[in-house]
């Protein structure tokens, strides 16, 4: 079913009367960790958040389990990224949207801000959280959803959101400042798949992935050869593995560069489609982005 049809169903569902637990707590189920974390920050202490996809999970390939379906059905509101990120869950979300308020957190991001890479078959790049200024819009959407569903606690949701938006603005400025310290010729970010396009556009660094936007796409020797040539020509010092993607393609890239007389190292692990372990700094959206920025700068500077 198309994204437009899903969006219509979501809007219909959100217009339904709010539902709460007997104790007044809203039960929120979020597809990815980045959404769950923002929801927790804005909704506390009036919500109970469950995230379906944990550390190391690839949302492009994720299929809902029977346990996930139960968590989704029991939710008062479902939050998802959209833009085909949760591609294999699309039908499930469409069906649930007829009964449960189901909100695409990226819905209010202007289309003019969305990337539409030619290799992604006319669809938008879903990795919007890597431009913190765009994820700010998603946070506002989450705030507005909670205020609409639970107006009795609107003041708390608005206050929490105001404080969190300040943190997002600070992080956005930090990322710009830090990436700018890398010599311009060395600002090349090479990863397993093309998840960092928004990051590159927002913070001024060239981004290249072996695979395309989705990890469901395949790569071949031509893709590796193309990137090996870039590494050699631009004397790139480091490439990066991703926490939710197999490192095999990056390891092959390193070997390819070595075969042409250029030494390149794995500069560290970046969090792309999933955050770090719960309880760690990287297990939050703010910590995840800061970790990525610091890792990239340390390796390339």
Q: Which of 240, 217, 226 is nearest to 298 (CA)?
A: 240
Cis peptide before 45 (omega within 30 of 0): yes
pTM for the model stands at: 0.88
Residue 118 has what pLDDT?
77
What are the tokens at 4? 């437009």
pLDDT at residue 6, as a whole number: 45
Distance CA 301, CA 289 (A): 18
What count of Cα atoms within 13 Å lies in the side-chain half-sphere of residue 226? 10
Q: What three-state secondary structure class fits 166?
A: helix
pLDDT of residue 38: 98
Give the pair of three-digit tokens for residue 21.
């637990």
The Cβ of residue 119 has, within 10 Å, a number of other Cβ atoms equal to 8
How many alpha carbons fall within 13 Å on the CB side of residue 114?
Answer: 20
Q: In the chain, what are the domains?
A: 3-167 (3.40.50.1980), 177-300 (3.40.50.1980)
Which residues have CB under 8 Å from 208's CB, separation 6+?
188, 189, 190, 191, 194, 227, 230
Per-residue pLDDT 10s for the chain (301 aa) are 434 434 434 433 444 444 444 567 999 999 999 999 999 999 999 999 999 999 989 898 899 999 999 999 999 999 999 999 998 899 999 999 999 999 999 999 999 999 998 777 678 999 999 999 999 999 999 999 999 999 999 999 999 999 999 999 999 999 999 999 999 989 999 998 788 999 999 999 999 988 754 444 555 677 788 889 989 999 999 999 998 787 888 898 999 999 999 999 999 999 999 999 999 999 999 999 999 999 999 999 8
């Amino acid at each position: 079913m198309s994204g437009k049809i899903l969006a219509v169903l979501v809007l219909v569902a959100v217009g339904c009367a709010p539902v709460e637990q007997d104790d007044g707590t809203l039960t929120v189920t979020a597809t990815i960790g980045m959404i769950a974390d923002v929801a927790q920050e804005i909704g506390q202490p009036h919500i109970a958040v469950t995230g379906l996809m944990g550390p190391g999970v690839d949302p492009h390939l994720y299929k809902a389990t029977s346990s996930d379906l139960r968590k989704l059905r029991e939710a008062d509101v479902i939050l998802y990224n959209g833009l085909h990120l949760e591609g294999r869950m699309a039908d499930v979300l469409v069906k649930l949207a007829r009964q449960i308020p189901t909100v695409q957190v990226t819905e209010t991001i202007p289309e003019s801000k969305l990337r539409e890479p030619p290799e992604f078959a006319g669809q938008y790049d879903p990795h919007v959280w890597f431009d913190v200024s765009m994820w700010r819009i998603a946070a506002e959407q989450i705030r507005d959803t909670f205020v609409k569903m639970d107006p009795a606690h609107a003041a708390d949701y608005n206050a929490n959101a105001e404080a969190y938006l300040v943190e997002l603005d600070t992080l956005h400025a930090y990322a710009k400042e830090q990436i700018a310290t890398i010599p311009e010729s060395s600002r090349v970010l090479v990863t397993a798949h093309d998840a960092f396009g928004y990051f590159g556009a927002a913070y001024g660094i060239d981004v290249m992935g072996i695979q395309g936007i989705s990890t469901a796409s395949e790569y071949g020797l031509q893709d590796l050869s193309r990137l090996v040539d870039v590494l050699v020509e631009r004397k790139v010092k480091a490439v990066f593995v991703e926490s939710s993607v197999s490192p095999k393609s990056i390891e092959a890239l390193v070997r390819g560069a070595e075969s042409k007389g250029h030494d390149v190292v794995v500069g560290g692990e970046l969090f792309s489609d999933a955050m770090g372990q719960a309880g760690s700094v990287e297990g939050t959206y703010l910590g995840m982005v800061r970790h990525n920025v610091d890792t990239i700068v340390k390796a390339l500077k």
